[in-house]
Amino acid sequence: MDVLIQQIQKQKTLLQNLQKSLKALNVAEQDSAKRLSTLRKELGAIEKYEKDLNLDPAVLQIIQIELNKSREELRQKEEELKSKFGFHLEKALKEHNFNLEGNYPVLRSLFYTFIVDISADKVTIYFGPEMEKLDVTKAIPEIVVSTLIKKHEEIVKRTFDEKAFLKLTKSAYQMYLAQNKKKIGDEAPITEIHALCSLLMQKEKFRKNPIKKNFAEYTRAMFSYDLSRMKNRTIDHAEMRLITATRSDTRTSGDFLWIPVGEGTTRGETVSRIKFIGEL
């Protein structure tokens, strides 16, 4: 008897949920974005439990007919949103003097790539051509742009002293040589140099108490951007040289960096190694 009662209660709960979702789907909404959200939410909820409904086949058939109408409406609205998304994103970007290139689902602006997935209601923002993931936002142009601007400023608005950066990179290179019993002129993995630079640049607060909250973030995107804005690569009697990544170097994304080739461009180069030649 207990099992029967549990089964009845389960079916009662499922039917209540179904009724709630069908009522929501049946409400006329003038706001297209709100309607799209309702369709995704309610159809997604029904898909999770519809296979457990124990109803007369004729009733289930009627339910499926109505759900298919809603699914077609969702498909049409997503297609409509796809066609409008790029236009509205470009308009929002222009307010910050950013241009937009590409076609759905891959769009680009400055150093950044947007992978747009309207069906999943998300946009993934990368630094470079799907290199360094910066964030994931809802597929709403204004939210995408506000997120991008925040990340962009974190990367480009930092104080930059070219001589100090070159000195930091040289110190990291010397440390790598010492740790790996290498000699001046030998190539070092760019990712190893980045990791050492991140440690060397830490403030006294971190050295005294090396915990997460005292650590100053220096991301791969930040390091890439700093390398891109160097005009002079010579310090004392040593010259820094970046080594272009080979095809084998790019099999694993963590083994190389994408470096933009100037301001305001989506073009860049992949670098896997670094070296100094001359006297350190």
pLDDT digits (tens, 9 = 90+) for 85-120: 989 999 999 999 999 999 889 999 999 999 999 888
What is the CB neighbour count within 10 angstroms for residue 169? 24
Q: What is the pLDDT of residues 196-252, one digit of tens each?
A: 999 999 998 998 898 899 999 999 999 999 999 999 898 888 899 999 998 888 888
In whole angstroms, give the CA distance from residue 52 to residue 251.
45
CA distance to 64, 85, 194, 212, 261, per residue, from 103 (Å): 35, 10, 33, 40, 22
State residue 260 phi and psi, 5-degree precision. -65, 150
In whole angstroms, give the CA distance from residue 94 to residue 145.
10
* pLDDT for position 149: 97
Q: What is the pLDDT of residues 171-186, one digit of tens each?
A: 999 999 999 999 999 9
Which two tokens mark 137?
A: 């936002």
State residue 56 phi and psi, 5-degree precision. -60, 135
In whole angstroms, give the CA distance from residue 256 to residue 254.
6
User: Which helix (H) or strand (E) is 135 found in, with range?
Assistant: strand 132-137
In whole angstroms, give the CA distance from residue 101 to residue 53.
47
* pLDDT for position 158: 93
